[in-house]
């Protein structure tokens, strides 16, 4: 029997064609920190359902929810012990069905995180693999003999510190591979049985009304069949951060293997009947590699992760945006923040400076083809959280307290009550300093001039002005720190410089949006775009004809 969710989600009523996601705006929900509905200090599915009206009012089209599967929680849910269940901390399958139904009723879509590179070491597959070396599940994972000296099979390292190999606890003498924690053994995608398992997993969630999958570590599934050493590109020094240790190798044998794209071509045949989307998290800083994943019959789109980790370097930001816009051909997912990196407001300078800069870049992203995501709290202008309790991120706890990802994962501040209204428990799962009333949803929603209202108007642009992302992309003026583009009758001007930018459009025009109040001024048609701002203009001749070709830049930055 087909499972369609609570009450039965009538997918036939949804728009046809997998390209529905292009031009959409998404919203990442880090479930542990969104809203706790039952007072245990941990966010949950019912908490998301309770706030759908707020997200609908904001203008969100797609909700991406981080893992909610049963898990020991060694990596906050990215160590999955059951791919078709719900961890009791987050609710039940009934709660999930109710969320899908409630979102569908509001015209929203649901993306879920899927974690195919590795499972938890508590997954029944792995437990059977170590219990019996002759079990068929042994080949679900990457077990290898020790090196001649008895150590790990090769020089691969973990993202989270130390070797990417751990000795089989059952005493076989073999090592198993894990590119992350030792509690996250990598799956063996050279084994067709693993593909069959994931066919069933993907189908299960599609049948429950899921509209897409954000694929964790999409670039890491396949490994070199010979398990050769990765070339080392720089010296590793004492006390080096795990990220820097990882970057000290050229990962030609454990990541970015050409076989990986074939996996997603098969996945597509599974999800196509459901009109569902495959969205990859590929940590690739190379545009050619990026397009290998999204340029054929594999993934629909991939996150441009450089933009969610970069500091305030306007020339680099604009260069990266244009590079991926040209090459991705609509297959890009844009975001300035996510749960793995410090928040954009803090990376861009903190306070109102950071808020202003983040809004300018996000506005420009909305004028690019693909899908643009907010990370929960972007719409409030949240900075990095300040940890007041124990660290929870294993990057920090297992490496002597180095900087981890907790700063991006603080609970959403809903109001000014205890724990900022996130939970009725005395403390949240991650203890952070309370945020001021000005940064809470209660203070900003409906308040003219607030960051939340600015973002609501920003997200409305794509619905109100579909030309913004769908019309031909024409660069009218490109400077190192500024950009003028035409989209049919629309002009988008991004001035990321620290000086004002002057522009003279011909004919009638209307300011549709400015990324902060007072970002555009001037008189007599002579526009002055203030520093670190993006504006959207509609321009028409008196008879309504578009006049994209008639504008001019007269002075540039001043």
Instruction: Name the residues annotated as catalytic.
Output: 216, 281
Q: Is 228 exposed, middle or buried, given 0-12, 13-18 or 19+ CB atoms closer than 10 A?
A: middle
Greatest Cα pair distance in the chain:
81
Cβ-count burial 291-306 (b if 16+ within 10 Å, e if not): bbbbeeebbbbbbbbb
DSSP-derived secondary structure for 343-383: -HHHHTTSHHHHHHHHHHHHHHHTTSSSEEEEETTGGGT--
Please choose, from the candidates 334, 359, 311, 313, the residue with its C-alpha nearest in 3D space to the C-alpha of residue 519: 359
Phi first, then psi: what are they for 25, rounded to 5°?
Answer: -115, 130
- How many other CB atoms are there within 10 angstroms of residue 237's CB atom? 9
Contacts of 304 by beta carbon, 8 Å cutoff, 6+ apart:
290, 320, 324, 328, 332, 333, 334, 335
Q: In whole angstroms, what is the distance from residue 75 CA to residue 499 CA?
A: 43
Q: Is 397 exposed, middle or buried, given 0-12, 13-18 or 19+ CB atoms closer than 10 A?
A: middle
- How many other CB atoms are there within 10 angstroms of residue 461's CB atom? 21
Q: In whole angstroms, what is the distance from residue 177 CA to residue 140 CA?
A: 12
Q: In whole angstroms, what is the distance from residue 401 CA to residue 68 CA?
A: 26
Q: Judging by DSSP bridges, how do beta strands 165-167 and 174-177 pair with one another?
A: antiparallel
Q: In whole angstroms, what is the distance from residue 365 CA to residue 378 CA?
A: 14
With tokens 């510190």, the residue in question is 161
Q: How many residues does the chain have?
A: 558
Q: In whole angstroms, what is the distance from residue 269 CA to residue 274 CA?
A: 10
Please choose, from the candidates 506, 551, 501, 550, the residue with its C-alpha nearest in 3D space to the C-alpha of residue 521: 501
């Amino acid at each position: 029997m087909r499972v369609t969710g609570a009450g039965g989600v009538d997918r036939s009523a949804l728009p046809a064609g997998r390209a529905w996601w292009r031009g959409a705006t998404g919203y990442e929900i880090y479930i542990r920190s969104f809203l706790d509905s039952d007072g245990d200090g941990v966010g949950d599915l019912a908490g998301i359902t309770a706030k759908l009206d707020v997200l609908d009012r904001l203008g969100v089209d797609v909700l991406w929810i981080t893992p909610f599967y049963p898990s020991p929680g060694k990596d906050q849910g990215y160590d999955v012990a059951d791919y078709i269940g719900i961890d009791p901390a987050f609710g039940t399958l009934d709660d999930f069905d109710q969320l899908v139904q409630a979102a569908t009723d509001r015209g929203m879509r649901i993306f879920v995180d899927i974690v195919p590179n590795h499972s938890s070491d508590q997954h029944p597959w792995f437990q059977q693999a170590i219990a019996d070396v002759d079990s068929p599940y042994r080949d679900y994972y990457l077990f290898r003999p020790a090196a001649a000296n008895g150590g790990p099979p090769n020089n691969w390292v973990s993202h989270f510190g130390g070797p990417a190999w751990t000795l089989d606890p059952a005493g076989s003498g073999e090592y198993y591979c894990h590119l992350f924690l030792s509690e996250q053994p990598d799956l063996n995608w050279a084994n067709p049985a693993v593909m069959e398992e994931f066919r069933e997993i993907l189908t299960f969630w599609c049948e429950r009304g899921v509209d897409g999958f954000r694929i964790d570590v999409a670039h890491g599934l396949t490994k070199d069949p010979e398990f050769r050493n990765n070339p080392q590109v720089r010296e590793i020094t004492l006390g080096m951060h795990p990220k820097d240790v990882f970057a000290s190798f050229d990962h030609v044998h454990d990541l970015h293997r050409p076989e990986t794209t074939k996996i997603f071509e098969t996945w597509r045949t599974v999800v196509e009947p459901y009109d569902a989307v495959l969205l990859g998290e590929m940590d690739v800083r190379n545009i050619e590699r990026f397009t290998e994943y999204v340029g054929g019959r594999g993934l629909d789109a991939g996150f441009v992760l450089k933009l969610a980790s970069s500091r305030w370097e306007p020339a680099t930001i604009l260069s990266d945006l244009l590079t991926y816009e040209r090459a991705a051909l609509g297959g890009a997912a844009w975001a300035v923040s996510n749960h793995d990196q410090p928040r954009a407001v803090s990376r861009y300078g903190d306070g109102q400076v950071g808020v202003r800069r983040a809004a300018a870049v996000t506005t420009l992203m909305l004028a690019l083809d693909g899908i643009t995501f907010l990370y929960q709290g972007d719409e409030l202008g949240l900075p990095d959280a300040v940890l007041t309790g124990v660290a929870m991120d294993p990057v920090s706890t297992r490496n002597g307290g180095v900087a981890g990802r907790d700063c991006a994962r603080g609970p959403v501040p809903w109001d000014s009550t205890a724990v900022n209204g996130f939970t009725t428990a005395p403390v949240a799962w991650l203890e952070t300093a309370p945020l001021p009333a000005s940064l809470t949803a209660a203070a900003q929603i409906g308040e003219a001039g607030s960051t939340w209202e600015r973002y609501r108007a920003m997200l409305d642009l794509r619905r109100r002005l579909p030309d913004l992302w769908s019309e031909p992309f024409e660069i009218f003026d490109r400077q190192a720190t500024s950009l003028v583009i035409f989209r049919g009758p629309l002009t988008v001007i991004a001035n990321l410089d620290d000086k004002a930018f002057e522009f003279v459009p011909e004919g009638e025009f209307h300011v549709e949006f400015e990324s902060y109040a007072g970002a555009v001024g001037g008189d007599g048609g002579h526009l002055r775009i203030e520093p670190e701002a993006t504006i959207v203009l509609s321009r028409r001749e008196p008879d309504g004809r578009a006049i994209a070709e008639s504008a001019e830049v007269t002075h540039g930055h001043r």
